[in-house]
Amino acid sequence: MMPRIVMVILFVGTILLPRCNSVEADGGAESVPVNIFKNSSFESFGKPSFDSWNALPGSSPLLSIEAVAPPTGGRYSLGLRDSYDDSPVVYQTAPARYGTHIYQLSLWFKGSLMNAAEISWDIKNGDSSQFVWGSRMQENGWYFYSFRDTLTCTSHDSIRVVFWPQIYDDEEGIVYFDLVKVEIVQ
């Protein structure tokens, strides 16, 4: 008798209790941010990886994947050293979403008072580009950066993020980047 009562209560409960409904993308619900960048952690399957990233010059000894990571990161980060003659520039380009959307650039950066970096992002269309935003990063230890902007893009546009070191201390001349993401927030 007892199992039958439990079954009836469960059956009636599933009919009467409110349920979660899926909402269409245009149904007014907030959308989940979509990261359009690949390999934001500079690792793949627990191994260091530079896949999906580009560097100028292409095989710079001043660029390395190091076993250093921020508090929420994996095991590796991108390390950049500076040279007064030929500093590496690292970038990634990803297709933008057509229309007007809110984009968020976020990353972890580690430097020091003498070891800084510059970062910029732009909208790229073929050989031309439109500067969106740029900043200098200079923090002692790991620091999380997050920037938002509303961008209007065509179907042929891409979002490009570029960063490079600016080292003033030859002894410890390295800066680190990790979990570099560009997300479409809305």
Q: What is the pLDDT of residues 121-143, one digit of tens each?
A: 999 998 899 998 898 988 889 99
CA distances for 131 relative to 4, 21, 134, angstroms: 68, 41, 8
Question: CA–CA separation, 117 vs 81, rounded Å?
Answer: 10
Is the bond preceding residue 57 a cis peptide, omega within 30 degrees? Answer: yes
Question: CA–CA separation, 148 vs 103, rounded Å?
Answer: 6
- Which tokens sit at 107? 């990353």
pLDDT at 12: 36
CA distances for 48 relative to 25, 27, 45, 79, 93, angstroms: 36, 41, 8, 11, 20
CATH number of 24-184: 2.60.120.260
State the residue for tokens 């190091």.
66
State the residue for tokens 């950049």.
80
Q: Which residues of the chain have pLDDT under 50?
A: 1-29
- Which tokens sit at 117? 């970096």
The residues spanned by each domain of the chain are 24-184
Determine which helix (DSSP H) or strand (DSSP E) holds 17, and give its type and residue range.
Answer: none
pLDDT at 25: 34
